[in-house]
Amino acid sequence: MKRRTLFIGLAFILILSLIACSGSGDNKQENTASSPSAAPESSQAPSGDKIKLVFWTFDRHDSDFVKEVVDRYNSTNPDNIEVEVTSMAENYVQSVDIAFSSNQTPDILRPNQDTTIPFVKKGYLEPLDGYLTEEMKEKFGPTFQDQVNQFDGKTYSLPNFGYTLRLIYNQDLFDKAGIQKPPTSLEELVATAKAITEAGKADGQYGFALNFKSPKSALDRSAREILQLSGYDGFGFDIRQGKFDFSPYAPIIEAFKQMKDDGSMLPGVESLDIDPLRAQFAQGKIGMYLSYSAEVGVYSNQFPTEINWGAAQAPSIDGTVKGAAGFANSGQWLAISSGSKNKEAAWKFLTYMYSDDVLQTYHERGLGVAAVPAIASKASKPDIKNSDGFMLTEYDALWPLPPAVNIQGLDYGSAFLKYMLEGGGSLDQTIEDLNARYNDALGKAVASGEVKVTPDPGFDPLKLQGTMLAQ
């Protein structure tokens, strides 16, 4: 225990020293995850000196594009501003926490669906309302959502893109197994995975996989989509009753477990992360998985592949579509750090990044589906293989987000994975335990004033269909 405590302490000191060192001297820091740099200390650069801004992001799929547009901004902006981008794929949240605790924060942050609420509660993000012009309010207004990019009437980030959720499949393995089309129900999903495995197991090919090393991430890119198309919230929250109910997960978890028990899943999925999964898919070893529209860029750049693959609407539980798949992570993109010493300069940079030219090019290069109606209406479809399969349809929609709660014990991803792997427990008991713990946490959050919950008995997921196209 003492050795573990010593190790954690030394790691903490190392990160602090890296942040401190990055703020000293005039040398430009390398853009690496292990060496985040600090924001400038003065709010006004001496005459003739550049105003240096530090931009932290966790995104990898768009890193080349971001570097390109930032370099262009650095060489053309008339305000003598220079922006340094640091992409940290690992330990992003921890690095932000440490930066704020040591008063050495970046100027621009990249929040997302998982981090925006914690960042707002911790006071990390600067409200943008005082900066927004009427033109910008009109442009981005249709995308504003409470508890997504607005909190207590204040706006903290503006959207750029979102991700559609799809079933990703290997057409070559479908052909090899004699399968005519992607599955539309859980029953068909299980049968398709089994047929692919039977046809390809001798060659190391399996029907299905998910990144179960991160169980919640795996379910949020798979079960979420299946549930929402079936008319249920994708995160276990019953909107009509205003409480958590994980029972709709049951047929999905049973189907996943059956594929695992049948041997139709790629061996070792319990320790498989998303990039190793993608690498295996690119090599033709996986028949199907569920994920986001970011896969278009992944197989064009990160894991170029020669396989014949496609994207299709995910199956629903019984083959009947009773809702719409959530348009994911579409509410936020960039934000100004509340600890920035150069907020005016940071806003000038954000104005550039949120310009029509940058947002439109982002969409047209296939980095993400435009979430801003004014951009989506005029942007061309990306000229990238398989991008058509990820474009918005009537079955994509913005769902209300469930309340954020702090539970005791395993989250729903880990609890369901434990049931799938160990197999000896009861799924009903797992669901009952999840409902009890999540609703207990919800009750405490409501009592403390951290969240507000209003049941909506008239909520109809069918009415979500076509809403993204109507904007």
Paired tokens of 28: 């430009």
Task: Check whether residue 295 and residue 443 sit in a common domain.
Answer: yes
138 with 202, same domain: the answer is: no
298 and 416 in a single domain? The answer is yes
Instruction: Specify whether 148 is located in the same domain as 270.
Output: no
Is the residue at 169 inside a domain? yes
pLDDT of residue 36: 37
379 and 443, same domain (yes or no): no
Q: Are residues 196 and 139 in the same domain?
A: no
Same domain as 280, residue 134: no
| Same domain, yes or no: 223 and 321 | yes
What does the pLDDT look like over 8-53, one tens digit per residue? 443 444 344 434 444 333 333 333 333 333 333 444 455 568 999 9
Do the domain assignments include residue 118?
Answer: yes
What integer is the mean pLDDT of 405-427? 91
pLDDT for 113 = 80
Q: Which two tokens stand for residue 84?
A: 């340094």
Same domain, 289 and 353: no
**Does residue 350 belong to any structural domain of this protein?**
yes
Number of domains in the chain: 2
Which helix or strand (DSSP H or E) is residue 57 part of? Answer: strand 51-57
Beta strands (DSSP E) in 90-248 are 108-109, 150-151, 154-155, 161-162, 165-170, 206-208, 237-238, 243-244
Whether 84 shows a pLDDT value over 70: the answer reads: yes
Instruction: Please report whether residue 14 resides in a domain.
Output: no
Tokens in use for 124? Answer: 């990390």
User: Sign of the C-alpha dihedral, residues 256, 257, 262, 267?
Assistant: positive
pLDDT exceeding 90 applies to what percent of the chain?
A: 70
Position of tokens 């083959």? 319
At 398, the pLDDT band (50, 70, 90 cuts) reads confident
Return the pLDDT at 1. Answer: 43
Q: Are residues 155 and 169 in the same domain?
A: no
Q: Classify residue 145 by burial, with Cβ atoms within 10 Å: 0-12, 13-18, 19+.
A: middle
Q: How far apart are the C-alpha atoms of 269 and 249, rounded to whole Å? A: 20
DSSP-based three-state secondary structure for 75: helix
pLDDT one-digit tens code per residue, 254-298 = 999 999 999 999 999 999 999 999 999 999 999 999 999 889 888
Q: Which candidate, 376, 377, 346, places its Cα nearest to that of 363?
A: 376
Q: pTM for this one?
A: 0.78
Q: Which two tokens stand for residue 379?
A: 């942007």
* Mean pLDDT value across residues 68-84: 97
User: What is the pLDDT, as a whole number, of residue 159?
Assistant: 92
211: helix, coil or strand?
Answer: coil
pLDDT at 414 over 80: yes
Residue 184 lies in a domain: yes
pLDDT over 90 (residue 323): yes
| Segment 182-215, tens digit of pLDDT | 999 999 999 999 999 999 999 999 999 999 999 9
State the pLDDT at residue 17.
41
Do 443 and 313 fall within a single domain? yes
Tell me if 17 is assigned to some domain: no
Question: What is the structure's pLDDT at 383?
Answer: 81
Q: Are residue 311 and residue 341 in the same domain, yes or no? A: no
Q: How confident is the model at residue 300 (pLDDT cuts 50, 70, 90)?
A: confident
Domain span at residue 42 reads: 31-160+332-385
